[in-house]
Amino acid sequence: MRAVARCDLLGEVPFSDEVDLLFRPWLGPGFHATVEAVSGWMRAAGMTVRRDNAANLIGRYEGLTPDAPALLFGSHLDSVRDGGRYDGMLGVIAAIEVVAGFHERDERFPFALEIVGFGDEEGSRFPVTMLTTRAVAGVLEEDDPDAAFADLRDSEGVTISHALATAGLTPLGMAAARRSESDLVAYVEAHIEQGPVLEAEGRAIGVVSGIAAQRRYEVKLHGTAGHAGTMAMGLRRDALAAAAEIVLAIEKIAQSYDGKDGLVATVGSMRVWPGVVNVVPGDVVFTIDARAGSAATRDAAVASILELIENIAARREIEAEIIPRENLAGVPCDPELLRLLEAAVSDVTGQPARILVSGAGHDAMIMARLVPMVMLFIRCEQGISHNPAEAVLSGDVDVAIQALTDFVRRFAAVRD
């Protein structure tokens, strides 16, 4: 199956910044190589291609009339470090296959079809996610009125401003990537499920009813570094020991909800300074990611987590700096688009569509602030994602492409 083969091809150098694993951060060498390859596939599918001021890749297949508003398909081109080959990328490549099918049949609609490959959904290079999606949705100033994101740095100390400059772009110029509501009629995203439900039920695809609410924080703990052999245990202000206690306490709080509203909380990144064997750690920086199907449940858990951080830090005489990074509300899919996609899935699979809530965040949750959106999930092996073990079945991808094709025709019918 061509779509799967293309995703596999993009999982290696030169489309990755690492030789032995997939890592494709925004504006890195692998990202630029990927944009070139995907651009070629878009052109072969009958699309014109451009890059916007946020380095997103956009392909356009014209409708029956020039300059008609577009039904926008999308997902992301970037990946986490040591990630899988299908997270994000499969949604872009599957959409290209949908357009290629229409192009081969010279089939056009009252609206154009566009595909966007977003540059930065994962936040794997800089400590902010969906930055380029926010640019397209026109909420950069709303989310960050001072454009403070420009000074955020990657692990090598490179700022977003500098990274953009290497591509001939600027942070202030990113606002020009904004799309108008009059430009678009809806947004559709296909994505691997990143969960085990579809596989457990023997289904190739499912329909997403909405995306869970998320909050993210960066926590900086400042203690006192000292000699590991001479600093008495009772006198230590060990930032890493405080962090360890906090991590376990966060886990305990999340477990206490017993799955209510799908609540989860994760410490996914931690940096220790000075990070040598014979020095008591003086500084630790870690992240917190909390999600739930309801904002109320998420916020209650977050309040408990922040309180425990302050209490543990005070007891251990550690300074705690808690920095909010993201606050994303839960986002329901558009009811009318949901109905059309359900019908398309049912028609293609011969059974009622499986409806799921997405615990993972997606570009769709930002795009919903601009236009109506809907999502299609594709089964992945054992629900594994953000992992090189990500796997999909070619037959499932083919079913997804058929369902998306059917959806476009149904959408055209209701707009006549």
Please report the DSSP string for 75-123 in residue order.
EE----TT--SSTTHHHHHHHHHHHHHHHHTT---SSEEEEEEES-SS-
Whose CA is closest to 304, among 293, 316, 318, 292? 292
From the number of C-beta atoms within 10 Å of its C-beta (0-12, 13-18, 19+), residue 219 rates as buried
Q: What is the pLDDT of residues 205-264, one digit of tens each?
A: 999 999 988 899 999 999 999 999 999 999 999 999 999 999 999 999 999 999 888 789
Q: Identify whether the C-beta of residue 323 lies closer than 8 Å to the C-beta of residue 310.
A: no
From the number of C-beta atoms within 10 Å of its C-beta (0-12, 13-18, 19+), residue 384 rates as middle
2-212+330-415 and 213-328 agree in CATH topology: no
pLDDT at 37: 98
Q: Identify whether the C-beta of residue 10 lies closer than 8 Å to the C-beta of residue 33.
A: no
Q: Identify whether the C-beta of residue 166 lies closer than 8 Å to the C-beta of residue 27.
A: yes
φ, ψ of residue 401 to 5 degrees: the values are -65, -40
Between CA 241 and CA 235 the distance in angstroms is 13
pLDDT at 357: 83
Architecture, CATH, for domain 213-328:
2-Layer Sandwich (3.30)
pLDDT at 366: 94
> How many helices (H) and strands (E) are present in the chain, helices listed first?
12, 16
Q: Cα 11 vs. chain centroid, distance in angstroms?
A: 17
pLDDT at 146: 54
pLDDT at 143: 61
Cβ neighbours for 19, distance < 8 A, ≥ 6 positions apart:
13
3-class SS of residue 325: strand
The number of CA neighbours under 13 Å toward the Cβ of 325 is: 21
CATH number of 2-212+330-415: 3.40.630.10
Would you kindly state where each structural domain of the chain is located, as residue ranges?
A: 2-212+330-415, 213-328
Q: What is the pLDDT of residues 125-149, one digit of tens each?
A: 998 889 999 999 999 876 665 567 8
pLDDT at 149: 86
Average pLDDT of the residues of the chain: 95
Between CA 267 and CA 247 the distance in angstroms is 7
From the number of C-beta atoms within 10 Å of its C-beta (0-12, 13-18, 19+), residue 407 rates as buried
pLDDT at 359: 85
Per-residue tens of pLDDT for the chain, all 416 residues: 899 999 999 999 999 999 999 999 999 999 999 999 999 999 999 999 999 999 999 999 999 999 999 999 999 999 999 999 999 999 999 999 999 999 999 999 999 999 999 999 999 999 888 999 999 999 987 666 556 788 989 999 999 999 999 999 999 899 999 999 999 999 999 999 999 999 999 999 999 999 988 899 999 999 999 999 999 999 999 999 999 999 999 999 999 999 888 789 999 999 999 999 999 999 999 999 999 888 899 999 999 999 999 999 999 999 999 999 888 788 999 999 999 999 999 999 999 999 988 988 899 999 999 999 999 999 999 999 999 999 999 999 999 999 999 999 999 999 87
